[in-house]
Amino acid sequence: MVEVDRQILNDIQNLPSNFWDFKSSDTRELSHGIHHYPAVMIYPISRNIIDIVSKYKKINSILDPFMGSGTILVEATVKGIKNIYGTDLNPLAKLMTEVKTTPLSNEKIKFLEHVVINEILKNNEIILNYATKFDNFIKQEKKLDISAKKNWGDNAHKYLEEYFGSEHEQESFPTFKNLGFWFVPKAIVCLQFLKKRILEITDAELRNFLLISFSETVRTVSNTRNGEFKLFRITVEQLNTYEPNTFETFKKVVCRNIEKIKAFSKICLQNESNVMINFDDTRSLETIADDSIDMVITSPPYGDSKTTVAYGQYSRLSLHWLDLENTNETNIIQLDNNLLGGKAYTNKLQWELLCSPTLVETLEKVSAKDPFRADEVFSFYLDLDKCIHAITKKMKKNTYQFWVVANRTVKLETMPTDIIICELAKKYGLEHLTSFNRNIHNKSMPSQNSPTNIVGQRVKTMTQESIIVLKKL
């Protein structure tokens, strides 16, 4: 072990045992507070890792190959790191991270403060009147039940076309499946008005900033349950009295986001960081040059998207409303299938080839209870192994990878992902330097769930994360 390794490990090991918990930290300061996203890695983790490593080793380039909402990229920009790379397969994550890592000039911030009140939200009373009339058209003239899955639920776009195509100026309302199931009539009309006004702004940075605020408004005024990342609708009883205030919600979101980007820009406007964000599959990382990265900090999915965090499902409504590229119905539904472990791999003979005895041992336990579930779990780790290989090829020699992971439970068996990653990494020339734990506070998921669906049988959800430190030799 070289002296730099010793110094970094010494700094880490001398910290208090609860240092990495960050229980009382404001985890939504600066642009971190723009837009919610599932399973976000809180920023103090990456901030402190960068601080510790940069004391002993120059960091010119950093990569987060599972960037999600851009936490690591924001922190790297705050630190002024020269070349910052992030990749993700989710178009919403890409747009979100672009907005959160782009400092705005004072002039642009003043324009935002002016345009929201005086341009985008002007004449909103007229639009509310249109929205109310359309609501009456649906409920009174057409006598539709807006809580029903059929008619309004799956054909809202047809009623919008019928009403606005004949009575008022033609509008390009969304036509995605189950539009009416997820939005009440008034909300659709008001959202379309906001979107149209935002798209009239020619400056791409300002337009994207407002579109991300619009995306958060879409989630808030939809019929989804509060605090849920997966798509669950509120009850029929709630829906029948649901009156979301779309314009007021948008105004609050934008004003909050302006304050967040203002604080970020004050720190970062003079930094000369180059932030490069790409759609890229971490199993190949084709957009990143080999032997070019000084440090990786990342938090991969804890397991396959279908049974852990459904990023595609969380993003679906926003993707439809934002008209982001490659966001037709099939592609959005397939997003979770394209993430790690999205496609089951059924060749048990391949288990040993990954060179992880711990993985094989755990898969045998899962397979004894449910062979198909074992196949799904193996698919995730097969993909994760490809990611480790691809990431390591992009690293310079004698550089560090920091992996923040949690050990999920499958069929009541704990999957020791922290140990499995260390075993997988060895064959790619990575040395495991250390691992340390942190307690997860303020989780979005419940502290217990019922994975077996047997009444009374409950297991704890993930309450700890491990931070794994690997070095490319």
Query: How would you classify the pairing of strands 413-414 and 464-472?
Result: unpaired
Q: What is the pLDDT, as a whole number, of residue 331?
A: 55
Q: What is the pLDDT, as a whole number, of residue 26?
A: 83
Q: What is the DSSP string of 63-129?
A: EETT-TTTHHHHHHHHTT-SEEEEEES-HHHHHHHHHHT----HHHHHHHHHHIIIIITTTHHHHHH
Domains and CATH numbers, the chain: 3-103+271-443+458-472 (3.40.50.150), 106-263 (no CATH)
Instruction: Let me know: does 63 contact 278? Beta carbons within 8 Å.
Output: no
Under the banding of pLDDT at 50, 70 and 90, the label for residue 117 is: confident
Tens-place pLDDT, residues 157-185: 999 999 988 555 556 888 888 999 999 99
Residue 447 has pLDDT above 60, yes or no: no
The closest of 106, 117, 118 to 261, measured between CA atoms, is: 106
Which ranges in 297-448 belong to alpha helices (H)?
Answer: 311-322, 329-338, 357-369, 371-394, 417-426
Q: Distance between CA 310 and CA 397 in Å, rounded? A: 35
Average pLDDT on 443-471 reads 63
Tens-place pLDDT, residues 204-221: 999 999 999 999 999 999
Under the banding of pLDDT at 50, 70 and 90, the label for residue 337 is: low
Residue 308 has pLDDT above 70, yes or no: no
Residues comprising the chain, all counted: 473
Q: What is the pLDDT, as a whole number, of residue 413?
A: 96
Cα 123 to chain center, whole Å?
Answer: 34
Token readout for 382 is 């097969």
Tens-place pLDDT, residues 381-434: 999 999 999 999 999 999 999 999 999 999 999 999 999 999 999 999 999 999
State the burial class of residue 269 (Cβ atoms within 10 Å of its Cβ: 0-12, 13-18, 19+).
exposed
Residue 322: φ, ψ to 5°: -80, -10
Q: What is the pLDDT, as a whole number, of residue 455?
A: 46
Q: Is the entire prediction scored with pTM above 0.75?
A: yes
Q: Distance between CA 110 and CA 246 in Å, rounded? A: 23
Most confidently predicted of 130-144, 292-306, 349-363: 130-144
Residue 29 has pLDDT above 50, yes or no: yes
Q: What is the pLDDT, as a whole number, of residue 446?
A: 45
Max CA-CA distance within the chain?
78
Q: What is the pLDDT, as a whole number, of residue 342?
A: 64
DSSP, collapsed to helix, strand or coil, labels residue 217 as helix
Per cent of the chain over pLDDT 90 is 74
- Indicate the average pLDDT of the chain: 90
